[in-house]
Amino acid sequence: MVAFVARDEDRELVGEEDINLNEDMISESIDGTKRGNIVSVAYLHIIEMPANSILLSGLFGDVLSVYTEPEYRGKGLCTQLMKNLVEYGKERGLGRIDLKATDDGYPIYEKVGFKETEHRYRDMILYFEKVRF
């Protein structure tokens, strides 16, 4: 999985980072170096499956956990992260990138080229663990 992040240290976008979800989502690295807090993030999960007539490369991406801290919204961070994410996917030969959009995120995704689709299938899910909220 690849993370696209923006940090508050200098408000410059950092490209893709290999993020360990248990260690790296903090503002300090293991060696004590200050890195700045992550203020906007988008994850791209790359999935490989057998090639078929719809997905010739057999590769596609799934966008997960897009989030921007409230005080940093409206500054174009998420839009730029999504542009970087899309470019990364193209460079790696993905056949498509999927995501599920919230109402807040919809305009951003549309701006970077995502289109709403109609499915002939129904979304279904099976949980093995009890989900707690």
- Sheet strands side by side (includes 59-68): 13-17, 2-7, 38-48, 59-68, 97-98
Domain ranges of the chain: 2-111
Fold of 2-111: Aminopeptidase (3.40.630)
pLDDT at 21 over 60: no
- pLDDT level of residue 27 (50, 70, 90 thresholds): very low
Q: What is the pTM (predicted TM-score) of this model?
A: 0.74
pLDDT at 125 over 80: yes
Specify the pLDDT at position 95: 94
Specify the pLDDT at position 13: 46
pLDDT in tens, 60-101: 999 999 999 999 899 999 999 999 999 999 999 999 999 999
